[in-house]
Every structure is written in structure tokens, then in C-alpha cells.
Amino acid sequence: MHKTYLLLGSNLGNRDTLLDEALEALQALGRVIAVSTRRETEPWGFSVPVPPFMNQALCLETQLEAEELLDHCLEIEKRLGRVRPRQESPVKGGRTYVSRLIDIDILLYDNLIMDSEKLTLPHPRLKDRDFARELLEEIIPKSLSLEDLFTK
């Protein structure tokens, strides 16, 4: 079994319902063993004003490999109504930030450090997002140091 930490986010629609539905769908991929509180957060990385996000972190034990988990997360997002822009128009750091019904980010996956075309672990912007680290710190074991991960 693999232990992975995910971050859920939504800034459109009924945010709490969407997070509930995402959490329920993720339970089909393994066993959710910890869930953080939910927190309304200011949008990060946007160049124009958008509604605030509702975010929540969780720990999932799964038999899926990291990139398989990513594929399932993307499918759950699609099923819950997320539409990814066809045309990329980078706003900050070469990335496009748009409001979304649901977002599922893989923050950590075991102690895996990887950088493939599909997936970078730990999540490349985790160290820049205080809200994500704070939610993650609610549920990670005290023996796991986020700072150690950022220096690897």
C-alpha cells in the first residue's frame, strides 16, 4: 500500500458539496485515513480577481502507482464538471490559473521524489502555498518533515 497526501480545492458552485463528492469518489481508490479541516483561502497565482477557494487535505492509502492515481484524480475532476482550458495562456510562472469546480492535487506520495512529464512530486508549488502546508500539517505524522522534503 502507498500513502499519499492530496489537496482538494473548489472556488465555483457549491464548494462544500463538490469537496464531499470528490472525497467520496477518492474513497473508491483506497482508504482515506485522515482528513484536515476545510479552510476558505484566497486564490493563489491568479492575475484577475476570482472567488475564494475552499480547500481540504487528506491522506489516502492506495494500491495505485503515482501516475495511475493522477489519472484517476483527473477523471474524478472531469466527472465532477471540471473543464480544463484548451488554449494555454500562461499568467504566472508559465501556468494558467482559472477558476474551477474541483481541483485534486497530489502533494506527496510515499517518500517519492519524481519529475515526469505527467507528475512532479512533491508537488512543485507546495512550498509556496502556506494554506496547503498548514492543512497538510494537520494530518501528517510528526515524524514527517515538510522542510526535509523541500531540500531534496
Residue bearing the bigger pLDDT, 71 or 147: 71
Residue 49 has pLDDT above 60, yes or no: yes
Q: What's the CATH number where 143 sits?
A: 3.30.70.560
Share of the chain above pLDDT 90, in %: 67
DSSP element (H, E) containing 146 = helix 146-150
Q: How many domains does the chain have?
A: 1
Mean pLDDT lowest for which of 8-12, 40-44, 91-95, 116-120? 91-95
Active site residues: 82, 100, 103, 105
Residue 88 has pLDDT above 70, yes or no: no
DSSP element (H, E) containing 136 = helix 130-139
Contacts (Cβ under 8 Å, ≥6 apart) of 35:
23, 56, 57, 58, 59, 139
Domain enclosing residue 31, as ranges: 2-150
Overall pTM surpassing 0.95 (yes/no): no
